[in-house]
Structure 1
Amino acid sequence: MTSGTSRLTRLLVMVPYFLANPGVSAAEAARDLGTTPKQVMDDLNQLWMCGLPGYSPGDLIDLSFTEDSVEVTFSAGIDRPLKLTAAEAAPLLVALRSLIDASGVVDAAAARRAIAKIENAMGTPIGEAVTETPTAESDPAESPAVIAVRDAVRRRHAVRLRYYSASRDEVTDRVVDPIRIQAVDGRGYLEGWCRSSGGIRLFRFDRIDEASVLEEVARPPATGESDQTLALFESDPTLPQAVIQIDPEVIWVLDYYLIEPVDPDGIAGSDQPVLATMTYGSTEWLTRFVLGFGGKIKVLNADEMAADIEARAAATLAMYS
């Protein structure tokens, strides 16, 4: 899609979007529309010049907006969202089904309703495999902790967690400023600023024993909210996966990155290296990641990459000899 076509499509969906979300900020709209706050403001100024034939003040789209709030006062008839094409609907349906499968990430009933609405809007199902929708009876019962976490993210409030750490085999109490919820490989995670650790952490839903929403507003550092480091690990079947061996001395890495042990039950109290898998975004990133652990983490399934890591490590040591 060309930039001009992309902008036209965005302009056509903006009026229905702001009608459905009165008072939303430019930053929030940019996140939802897949663009920047500056582009949203530019588009709003462009919409001011659009409207019905005659193009007098009473015919043009009328908006009241600042960077903090946007409201539509006259839509000029552009008040219905664009109809999805089959090519657009199919990935949405697949994504919604994946979110339902990743227990706790979304309200499963709401996701099923969204699937039904998309199918009804299209008129006919888009392929049996894509549109087969789980029933309410097939949904596992959600834990109160997961429901509380979703509520905290929605309200943007801090949340107190009682969380099991697999790497340390202990349960800890933490206060977390939520940033977002992620679905990775069929599991749900809360990404947030952990006040105890002083950094961004990922909390797996099935390891949250208890959660309570606090009255205070969540205030993750600005750098934390914009940090996309963890986005490298979002579920993507096109990304490569490394098999790694983790030394017991750095087993805490399991609490920092989306690394899946081959035998999760064999971690606690073990003094043996842990075999695990890890999805990564680029060879360069994984190389830097492994080098940062000084030989405590090894790549087992990529001989060429392992050789490159060894060569870089040797070159670094040579600089100090």
Structure 2
Amino acid sequence: MNRTARLYALVEELRAAAPRSLTVAALAVRFEVHARTVQRDLQTLMEAGVPVRSTSGRGGGWSIDPEMTLPPMRFTAAEASALAVALAAADASAPYAGAARSAALKIAASMTGPASVATQRLAQQIVTLPSSFDPVVHAAVEQAVATGTVLRLAYVDAAGHESDRLVEPAGLLTADSRWYLIAWCRTRQAGRGFRLDRITAATLTEEPAPPHDLAELLRDSAASGAVPPVTLAPLTSQAGARMRP
């Protein structure tokens, strides 16, 4: 078993045992390698962001939080190619680009056979023009949207006018390869779209933002016809099912 396959198998072995811990010695026997090899592999998984953790003392060992990981997935060559294209579109200027890069690493590590070959071939045929962005701004916007927190912005509009805003985030809009934060602007007392590359500074406050309906904020705007991406329909339908009593 090569190292990539072993890393993948280690995660699944820990998932199967959860919430129990497994010792390095037991894992070494299971995969027929030295204990120090398993220790290095577990450290690699931890550094890659996989939620593995170790506990010391009697009964200690390594474990994983199964709710923070996904079960094994088998992609066809066509599905793997589609993922490569989608991840390529999430360049450095897109929201959650850092998470997209780490996801690409995990997907690549888990794929074997024709799917892996097809994805590698396609990845060598995709290029992108780099764009400038402020990672601090993006991180603040991402966290504000994910946690529903009021955000303080410094913004430059299309005419070059600068302003400071307190906004209540509702979501993100993508159009013509640009990304916008859609939010209720307390300064204008209305829904507004803020192009991410025009936000010059962003700071999270400690104030929870009231919930806002994204479609309602977009009504009567140039983006009133925006619809959820078809590729995200399975995720939005699952979220709706969980919210129903």
Normalised TM-score (structure 1): 0.40
Aligned with residue 207 of structure 1, among 191, 198, 204: 198
Task: State the alpha-carbon separation in 2 of the partners of residues 227 and 89 from structure 1.
Answer: 35
> Of residues 144, 152, 158 in structure 2, which corresponds to 1:160?
152
The residue aligned with 2:137 is 145
- Quote the offset at 1:150 in angstroms: 1.5
- SS of the residue aligned with 1:100? coil
- The answer to whether the Cα contact below 8 Å between 2:75 and 2:111 also exists between their aligned partners in 1 is yes
1:115 aligned to which of 93, 104, 107? 104
Q: Secondary structure at the match of 1:83?
A: coil
Residue 92 (structure 2) pairs with residue 105 (structure 1): no
Q: For 2:157 and 2:131, how far apart are their aligned partners in 1?
A: 26
Cα drift, residue 160 of structure 1 = 0.8
Q: Aligned partners of 1:203 and 1:220: how far apart in 2?
A: 18
Mark the CA change 1:139 to 1:203 in structure 2 (over 3 Å): closer, same or farther.
closer
Per the TM alignment, residue 105 of structure 1 is displaced from its structure 2 partner at its CA by: 1.4
Say which SS state the counterpart of residue 201 (structure 2) adopts.
strand
Deviations 1:250-275 (A, max 9, x none): xxxxxxxxxxxxxxxxxxxxxxxxxx
SS of equivalent to 1:126:
helix
1:126-164 superposed Cα distances (whole Å, 9 cap, x missing partner): 2456424999xx785634222211121222201011111
Task: Provide the aligned C-alpha RMSD in A.
Answer: 3.7
In structure 2, distance between residues paired with 1:162 and 1:142: 13
After superposition, the Cα gap between the structure-2 partners of 1:189 and 1:82, relative to the gap in structure 1 and judged at 3 Å, is same
Partner of 2:155, secondary structure, is strand
User: Cα distance, 1:166 vs. partner?
Assistant: 1.1
User: Compared with structure 1, are the counterparts of its residues 185 and 80 closer, same or farther at alpha carbon in structure 2 (3 Å cutoff)?
Assistant: same
Indicate which of 163, 166, 174 corresponds to 1:183: 174
| SS of equivalent residue, structure 2 residue 90 | helix
Equivalent position to 1:172, from 159, 163, 169 = 163
8 Å CA contact 1:163, 1:174 repeated in 2: yes
Deviations 1:261-296 (A, max 9, x none): xxxxxxxxxxxxxxxxxxxxxxxxxxxxxxxxxxxx
For 2:12, the equivalent position in structure 1 comes to: none
Distance in 2, matches of 1:157 and 1:149, equals 9
The alignment of Structure 1 onto Structure 2 pairs a total of residues equal to 156
Shift of the 200–125 alpha-carbon distance from structure 1 to 2, 3 Å rule, reads farther
Q: Is the 8 A contact 2:153 2:164 kept in 1?
A: yes
8 Å CA contact 2:183–2:217 kept in 1: the answer is no
Mark the structure with the bigger radius of gyration.
1
- Which runs of 5 or more structure 1 residues have no equivalent in the other structure? 1-15, 20-74, 237-321
Change (3 A) 1:120 1:232: farther
- 1:126 is the counterpart of 2:115: no
2:208 maps to a residue whose letter is V
Please list, as runs of the form range in 1=range in 2, the aligned pairs for 1:45-64 lying within 5 A after superposition.
Answer: none
| TM-score computed with the length of structure 2 as normaliser | 0.51
- CA–CA distance in 1 between the matches of 2:227 and 2:117? 28
Deviation of 1:183 (Å): 3.3
Question: CA 1:163–1:225 in 2, change beyond 3 Å: closer, same or farther?
Answer: same
Q: Distance in 1 between matches of 2:131 and 2:197?
A: 15
Superposed CA offset, 1:78-98 (max 9, x none): x82432222333222211211
What amino acid sits opposite 1:114 in the alignment? A
C-alpha change, 1:226 and 1:129, in structure 2 (3 Å) is: farther
CA contact (8 A) 1:99 1:183 kept: no
8 Å contact kept, 2:184–2:190? yes
| Identity across the alignment (%) | 31
* Offset of residue 171 of structure 1: 1.0
